[in-house]
Amino acid sequence: FQILAPIVRGRKGEYRKELLEMRKAGYVRARIDEKIVDLGEDLTLDKQKKHTIEIIVDRLVMKPGEALMRRLADSVETSVKLTGGLVGVLTEDGQTRLYSDRLACIKCGVSYPEVTPRVFSFNSP
């Protein structure tokens, strides 16, 4: 499976600057509109079309062990830093699953406030 950092989700634009920054940061591959591309290539995107750009942070093979868990944790943390809280996982069967570090539904956009002790108060609405 692969750990993805979704930096653009369904927006119009060329995104040359973002792709160049990712290449300079050392990332080699990205998934643009569900196609895996090499960031070393000269990529030209149609600015009139909506694009989804996901940087491939890491590719992992499932072998139980502490080294895998540490590497997975590092990759997830890197993705969260790049995207401001999102992590994508591309499974071997081609499905993409998105996760957020916030109390929000990625599909419908509903978000909830941070849970505090006051929420459980009898006097709180």
CATH of the domain at 37: 3.30.190.20
Q: Which two tokens stand for residue 2?
A: 């692969």
Nearest to 89 by CA among 80, 78, 98, 100: 98
Structural domain for 25, as ranges: 2-120
Cβ burial 51-78 (10 Å sphere, 16+ → b, else e): bbbbbbbbeeeeeeeeeeeeebeebbeb
In a domain, 125, yes or no: no
For residue 11, pLDDT over 70 is answered with yes
Query: Structure pTM?
Result: 0.76
pLDDT of 4 above 90: yes
- Mean pLDDT calculated for residue range 15-42: 89
One-letter amino acid of 43: L
Is 40 within a domain?
Answer: yes
Q: Please state the domain count of the chain.
A: 1
Domain annotation covers residue 58: yes
Beta strands 96-100; 86-90: pairing state: antiparallel
